[in-house]
Each structure stands twice: as C-alpha cells, then as structure tokens.
Structure 1
C-alpha cells in the first residue's frame, strides 16, 4: 500500500532553544577630564620629540649675559651720540625719563645738522652696505637721529628697533635743571669711584652711578649678541655717558676713566676692541674723596 507523506505531516526537526541575551554590566559613565587628556597628550608628544633627538649631535650652547670685556663680539657695532637736543642748546641738564618722549627733548636745529653729518659718516664707513639694524633710545632726540640715519643710508624704517630703558640718558639726580657746566662735578666723582651716585632728587629723576649705567648697557649688549649674529648694529644714545661707559667696558678700560672716551654730539665711532687708550693713574690712587662730589 502506497503511503503519501505530505509536508504538513512531517514533524519539524527539533532546534536548540535560542540563547538567552548576553548582558554585560557597563560601568557608569565618567565625565571626561580634559585637563588630564591634555597633559597626557603633551607628555606623549614631548617624549616622542626627545626620542627623535640624535644624542650624537652636539647641542648648541646658549649665550647669556655678556662678560666685559668680551672675548669676541658676534656682530659689528657702531656707536652714535644723537645731535644736540633743545635742552642742551639752552645749556640745561635734562635727564628725567618722564620727559624723554616730549617734543622739547628733540633735536635742536644744530642737532639735526650734526645728526645728518653722523649719518653721512656712517655711509662713508659703509656701515649699512649689507643692511643694518638701528637701535635708538626711545628718547625723542635719539629716535629722531635714528630716522635721519635710516633715511640717509637707505635703511627701511622696519629696521629701527626702539629701546625703551637700557639706553635712557644717565640720570643725574639733583643736577636736573642745572647748567651743563655742573656736569664736571659728576665726572670728578666718577674718576674717584664708579659707585658714587649724584645727589638724589624727588622729581622722578634717577641718580645713577657709572656702575648703574654699566649694568644696563651690559644687558643691552647681551640682548644684541643673543638676538643677532654676524649683523651690523648701530646704537644711538641720547647722551655721551651710555656710550663712553659701554666702550670702556668693551675695551677693558677702568670705568672711572670713561670720560676719556666721551662722545661729542653727533659723533660716530666704530667699536674696535683693540683700541685701549693710554693708561692714566686714577685720582683714587693719589687721594680719597671724603665729601663726594665736592672733592677739592
């Protein structure tokens, strides 16, 4: 007997029961610590950069505060005193930094002519033949001098770098407003000790010794020697003392004798480390001043 089997009559094969859903216990969400992530990424970056450094390559030594006198200079330097100021034309001492940007502290008509001659002297010396940097004091007469120097020598104004404090005129304290002839008393004290300061005054004018000025011009030279290399730098000062004290330090001259290197208004001088003036015995080796600056 033929038996016909239909699909409906066939029992489906038994299949394994479905696996229960897998549930994992998730930890509670933690807030992202962005500071931690930043520090971690920085640490990784720094570590990676150090690992890329070849220890066989010598590390360049940094240049810090310049030692005076320096064993060598990286750059070529010209020292320029700005021409006569309006106050100097009236024979008045004016060193208060409060008024250094005032129009009254600018160049006199004679001072402008002196500065043009200085600019022409620099051109003759080919100071800016291969370009140069001009570093003037922000004092009005020094900055005006820098602009004249730049114009005569074809230097872009972008190469004028104003200096805001290291090249201020030497503060003469109680001598402020006196006749220029009174400066001789300050220089008499300078020749005895580089640490003697002019008498103080309460109008904001500093009273600086030779040593005080020496510290800031040394700081200036340290900046220039670090910032530039194999360049020409023209330093423009509003007075003589900044430059005479700087040059004395550069050539190793006793600072008490900086007056021997004094600059006339509009004078230009190339820094020659080998030019040390003939030595003169300082007055302090002969007698002592008991009542500076009156040392008769």
Structure 2
C-alpha cells in the first residue's frame, strides 16, 4: 500500500475554471504511485461554492472541500479561466493572500498568473503568462516582471506556467524540485510526456510538426541520449542528422524551441542528477559518464540548472548519505 505524503497540494477551482489545467494538476499531483511505492503528495480540490460550473458550462464540479482547505496547503494552485478580464471573487483572492503570508508555495497555470497578480502577490516578482495576453497583462500589472516568451517561471515560492500544455512542464519541474530527477522521470513515463523541457524554452514553436518526415529530430535525439558519455558537439549532432550545424540549429529552434547546445546540456544534467540519486558518490565519475568532463564543470552547470551543487543535490535526493 502506498505511503501518504505529508506535502499537501490544494487546487482552488472557481467558476469557469479550465478543465485541462485541473486535469494536469490531478495527473501529476493527485494520482497514486504504485510504480514508485509511495504517494508523492496529499492532493485536494476546493471551491468557494458547493457546485462549480466549469468552463463554458462543460460540466459542474461537486463534492469538493470548501475554500478553507486552502489554509492547510503546502502548495496552492490558483484558479485560471479563459476570460482574464473578469475579476476574481474577493474570497478567492483573500485565500491566496493568506496562503502567501503563511509561506505556502503558489502556482498559476496559464491565466492563473492573472489571478496571482490580482491578489497582489506578484508585485516585484518574475512571472509568465500566455503570449496572447502579454500586452494586456503588462498594462494591468506593471509592477510584475513579466517574461512572456518562456514556458514557465520558477521564482521560488511562486511559479507560473505560460499555457495549457506548459502546465505539465511546470508540474514535472515541481516534482523534480521536490523529489529529484529519477522520480520526475517515472512520473513523465506514466504521462508518456517529455521528462524535461527547460522553463526558458520559447512558448511559440514556429513549426511544431515537421513539414517532411526526414526533418524530425527524434532519431538524432535518441542517438545523442545514448552517447552522452562522449564529448558530443553540435557538429557531431549535425553530422548524425546529415545536415549542416546551421540547419540543425534552425530545426531545434523550430521543433523544440531551444538550441542544440542547450538541449544537450540539459540532457547531461538530467543524467547526472539520476546517477547521483542512484548512489554514485564520485563526482568525477558522474562528470565523465555524462560528458561534462570535470567535477568542476559538473558543479558549475548543476548549480546553474538546478540551483544545487552536486553535494547539496546528493544530500537532498541521494540514496546514500553524503
């Protein structure tokens, strides 16, 4: 039987909330995890009303806790909805402000950034929102440092995701932050979703589906993941794809919204995190097996990508005491 987690994730559902983001939160934070052997979170839904009409009247949500459940959240996911001009109810905004005062981690998916900003907790903070609302957001909330061309923003105790699908990216990022890369990878496998897309990747991908089958990056990505222990370069990736480095760069930007080097570095760091979690104590070995070269380079890049040094990461997520 799964062990219960003490970290409580609470989602506020309000009138006209989007079902997709609610589904993302449920899939990532609310499911039992027999494949892991324990539940990662204690997951709850709450609402200001006994009956909540969801977006466009698709269905009515009933039988969830009252808004006072937000008082007991460790992570609170705030409501979002398609009409960003309609103000939130004072009770919802008060619950968000109270949670922020108590040190609760706040999360906004898509238009949830508007809810956080309306509550006043984003003033002077970094956040993102869907690109189509960027101008409106800036006009209404000039005190917020909006970053409109990224998938998600992690500003410590407040995290925001740009669009609907980016909710999955941010959710997996939170799991990775809380439980490490190996657990996040297990959750992503169950979702059949990319294990890691960096928050700094662009929201808008110019050509999400290649126009020609032979332009797909899938073969070269799979090949590179099998050769991370070698000193791969962008030139090597281009040669494997039988294109010039400039063409490869354009395809990465169009299909993944990032550069080949940034993708390669992210894959190396993810592998390094997993090796540390699985018990590898020698950081020079981790660096060598991930193609990062030296323990010094590993330390620099891990701190940049995860906010933790290898030693700190091992203390937090490793299977052996450090």
**TM-score clears 0.5:** no
TM-score by length of structure 1 reads 0.25
TM-score by length of structure 2 reads 0.24
State the structure with more CA Rg: 1
Structure with the higher fraction of residues in strand conformation: 2
Q: Which has the higher contact order (CA 8 A, sep 6+)?
A: 1
